[in-house]
Amino acid sequence: MAEIGAVVFDLDGVLLQSEELWDDVRRELAAAAGRRWPATATRDMMGMSSPEWSRYLVEQVGLPGTPEEVNERVLDELLGRYRDELPWIDGAPEAVERMAALWPLGLASSSNRQIIDHALEIGGLTRHFAVTVSSEEVPRGKPAPDVYLETARKLAIAPARCAAIEDSSNGLRSAAAAGMRVIAVPNPAHPPDPDALSLAAVAIGSLAALTPVVAGGEREAGD
C-alpha cells in the first residue's frame, strides 16, 4: 500500500448533513410545477454534477425551463437556507482540523462551486483545504472518477497516495475508480449499497473515528 500523502473529503453527507436539503428544494420545485416526484429520483441524483441533475430534473421530472434555469433556482434556494444555518455533521470541523495537521487536504464535491466556497468560508475551514473541486468543473459527476482525479492532479499527489472520505454509493464508486484509498463513513439517512461499501478499505461509524491511523492505513500495515 502506498504511503498516504493527502486526504480528500466529500462535502454533502460527510461534512454537511445536506442531502435532505437538496432533496427538499428539488421536491418543492417539482410540487410547485405540478410534477410528480419519481420514486428513484432522490437516489438517482446523488453524486450527479449540477449540469447532470439539472438536466435530470428537466428531462425526467419535467420541471419547466432550461437545465441552467433550474440549476439557478435550486442554487438560490439552497444558498438561502445555508445563510440561516450550516448543517455540520457531528465532528466534521474537528476531523478536518485533525487531518490538516498532518496532510494537505482536498475537497471533491458534487456541490456547485458557490456552495463549496460558502460552506467552507462560513465554517472557517477554507484555510485547511489546499484544493477544492466541484464536479461541475469536470466532464462527469460521480460515480465517474473525474472529480477525484482532478483533485489529485491539483494536489500534485498520485491518486493511490490519497485517502478519500466518502459516504454515498456513487461517491465510494467514484473514489475507488480513481484508485484512492477509500474510507467509508456511511450516512444513516442514505446508507450506501453493499457492493459500493465493499470498495472501501475501511468503514467507520462516525467522523470521530477518523484518526491519522485510519486515514493512513497504519492499522492495516501492522496487521
pLDDT tens for 159-189 read 999 999 999 999 999 999 999 999 999 988 8
pLDDT at 215 over 90: yes
What is d(CA 46, CA 19) in angstroms, rounded to the nearest whole number?
Answer: 8
Contact, 107 vs 11, CB < 8 A?
A: yes
Q: What is the pLDDT of residue 218?
A: 65
Strand 129-134 and strand 105-109: the pairing is parallel
Active-site annotation holder among 12, 23, 146, 167: 12
pLDDT of residue 1: 56
Q: Is 108 helix (H, G, I), strand (E, B) or coil?
A: strand
Classify residue 117 by burial, with Cβ atoms within 10 Å: 0-12, 13-18, 19+: middle
pTM value is 0.87
Please compute the mean of the pLDDT values over residues 78-106 and round it to a whole number: 92
Look up the CATH superfamily of 6-17+88-222.
Answer: HAD superfamily/HAD-like (3.40.50.1000)
Check if the beta carbon of residue 69 is closer than 8 Å to that of residue 94. Answer: no
Q: Which of 10, 23, 146, 167 is catalytic?
A: 10
Distance CA 48, CA 41 (A): 11
- Cα–Cα distance, 153 to 131 (Å, whole number): 10
Domain boundaries, the chain: 6-17+88-222, 19-84
Pick the CATH number of 19-84 from 2.60.40, 3.90.550, 1.10.8, 1.10.150: 1.10.150
Amino acid, res. 213: V
Instruction: Evaluate if residue 223 carries a pLDDT over 50.
Output: no
Query: Residue 221: what pLDDT?
Result: 37
For the question of residue 10 being annotated catalytic, the response is yes
Active site residue 167: no
pLDDT of 105-145, one tens digit each? 999 999 999 999 999 998 999 999 999 999 999 999 999 99
User: Whose grid coordinates read 480528500?
Assistant: 8
